[in-house]
Chains A and B, each alone.
Chain A
Amino acid sequence: MQNLRNLTLLALPFLLAACGGSKPAGAGASNEEKKLNLYCWAEYIPQGVIDDFTKETGIQVSVENYASNEEMIGKLLAGGGKYDLIQPSEYAVEALIQDQQLQPLNQGALTNLGNLAPEFRNMPFDAGNKFSVPFMAGFVGIVVNTDKIKTPIKSFNDVFVPAHKNRIVILDDSREITSWALGEAGLGINDVTPENLAKIRPMLQKWLPLVKVYDSDSPKTALQNGDVDIGVVWSGEGAILYNDNKKFQFVLPHSGAHLFVDNMAIPKTAQHPQNAHLFINYLLRPEVGKKVADEFPYYSPNRAARSLLSPEQLANPASYPPAQEVSRMQTFKDLGPQAAAVDALVTEIKAGGK
């Protein structure tokens, strides 16, 4: 049925393109049409949560997904889509604020903001939640298959040793990889300068030839299948592995893991900003936050939602490590044009071969 309707729609896009004029934003919630265009990470907001929101408010939510912040920024800036709500990570929020791409949030409409843990109300990239509200957070840590690796693993330096050659999976993410090396070199994870990159180059040249698999999407696959024994992965992946089998232990590296935060934000070109506020406030509800945390075992910034989780969920060392560990973590700052240098460095060392 849906598809028949779609077929008829096919004939119209030209007309639609012509009359899809923008509506003035701002005024009362009542005069906004019941629509919300959501542009978010794939598989992050459970479908059930979206359906319940539609049931409750009558607002139809159409969802489009992206797989990286850069892809989202690219499409947003190109102006092709009309998005009301996006889900940028911390450094992307910083970059978008700097470029004045985001609308200031109407704090009065976000009555559930108080459910967030205090530290998430004051993140360095957007203090006071002026433009963004944390949705989910997580870390990058080390997963060890303790059946295979018996030596204690405490830091990235313990991962990248010749004994683990060809038994390592790491995230295929140049920024991440360089930040680990910066941490081990005693530098700040955000101190990305040409000099510091030159400093960590020898370390990376030692590390990367030991790696068997680079995978940012599903690094747990190689661990699960026994093709590798140790990995540097997202905490959510670590949590799934730990739930699957306790032999997969999750370790936060001593040199300092970093915290990533995915947020909800409203682009300045949004046509339904009030609906977007309604949705953000809805996501901040404890029971909704719990549903999200049930489905995706990352770190919930929502303290009220966390209190609804089972003891088992809270005991997963990858999802909820000790609070003092989390408070020590730093977030990524936007690198701007330096991102290209970081990517070139890692690509070059990878291509240098084994």
Chain B
Amino acid sequence: MVAEAARGWMRPDGPTWVRWLGGGWTVLVFAFLYLPIVLLVVFSFNETKSGFRWEGFTLKWYEALFQNRVLLQAFGNTLMIGAASTLLATVLGTLGAWMLYRYRFSIHRTLEAFIFVPMIMPEILMGVSLLVLFVILNFQLGYLTVIIAHVTFTFPFVLVGMQARLQGMDPFLEEAAMDLGATPWQAFTKVILPYLMPAIASGALLAFSLSLDDYIVTVFVTGAESQTLPLKVYGMVRVGLNPQLNALSALGIILTIVLVLASERLKQPAKGM
């Protein structure tokens, strides 16, 4: 009896009640995260434009949205800039973290200090100084400058997350792989990279989220053709929250969730969800 109970306690996940508690808490956290999202989806079908009273179901905001060329283009720009800068930031952050972990450079501390700078520099200062820099370098303001700016303020987040992951890594993982005949490159791609994958995924998610929603830096470094959604949203909200924006967010969220679930299903065709 006692031994039986003890075995239950010995589960690495902890006793059942701990797992229930954790599970329940997590459900609450998700409820907290999704409460405003559910509301904005509901409002996207609300007849009235102002206020939060429910005044009947309508699809007119979706119709208006699909005719709003400017908003849709801004949405497209945002996704494109988000994808490009996430890709670059993830590569830069991962490679950088690994190199700083694996090798000793004479300028190690200086580098780490500078990695820190984009995280602590107030956004507006970064926006203005990057603008001045781009003018000096004679870069035309547009997609390129926006992507550069986004990579600059997102890659440190990737790098820092990666460093947390690397700290607990078995230092001899790489050595063991090489002892087994792997080249350093193979050891990196076959052993280290898979180990780093969770941090890469969460870093990329962070970078993408930061890029999607940036207003202050973008407003300084953008040109007319690279207008992003946050810039448009900011302008539209000034004259009152337009339910078209709710419609756009609702579509975005639902589409993302469907895509995520579908890709999970594709990964496990036999087991299903």
Binding site for B on A (CB under 8 A): 2-3, 6-7, 9-10, 13-14, 16-18, 20, 37-38, 41-43, 47, 62-67, 71, 74-75, 78-81, 217-218, 220-221, 224-225, 236, 240, 244, 296
Chain B, range 218-262, C-beta contacts under 8 Å to A: 219-225, 227, 231-232, 234-241
Chain B residue contacts of A66, Cβ below 8 A: 219
Tell me if B57 counts as interface (CB < 8 A to partner A): no
Tell me if B73 counts as interface (CB < 8 A to partner A): yes
Tell me if B161 counts as interface (CB < 8 A to partner A): no
Size category of the binding interface on chain B: 35 or more
Chain B, residue nearest A224 (CB):
B51
Complex alpha-carbon distance, A43 and B233, angstroms: 10
- On whether the beta carbons of A74 and B128 are closer than 8 Å, the reply is yes
Partner of A3, one of B68, B80, B135, B240: B80
Complex alpha-carbon distance, A78 and B134, angstroms: 10
- On whether the beta carbons of A75 and B220 are closer than 8 Å, the reply is yes
A67-B238, A71-B219, A217-B237 known; A17-B140 Cβ under 8 A? yes
A6-B80, A75-B131, A78-B132 known; A47-B70 Cβ under 8 A? yes
Complex alpha-carbon distance, A341 and B121, angstroms: 25
Complex alpha-carbon distance, A220 and B73, angstroms: 29
A37-B224, A66-B219, A81-B223 known; A240-B238 Cβ under 8 A? no
Chain A residue contacts of B132, Cβ below 8 A: 78
Partner of A65, one of B52, B145, B235: B235
Binding site for A on B (CB under 8 A): 50-52, 68-70, 73, 76-77, 80, 84, 128, 131-132, 134-135, 138-145, 147, 219-225, 227, 231-232, 234-241
Complex alpha-carbon distance, A99 and B189, angstroms: 59
Complex alpha-carbon distance, A188 and B69, angstroms: 46
14 further A-B contacts with Cβ under 8 Å, apart from A47-B69, A217-B237, are A3-B73, A6-B225, A7-B80, A13-B140, A13-B142, A42-B232, A42-B235, A43-B236, A67-B238, A75-B220, A80-B223, A81-B223, A218-B241, A225-B52
Complex alpha-carbon distance, A246 and B91, angstroms: 57
A-B contacts, 21 listed (Cβ < 8 Å) = A7-B80, A9-B143, A10-B143, A10-B147, A13-B142, A13-B144, A14-B139, A16-B140, A62-B224, A63-B70, A64-B222, A65-B227, A65-B232, A71-B219, A78-B131, A217-B237, A224-B50, A225-B51, A240-B240, A244-B50, A244-B51
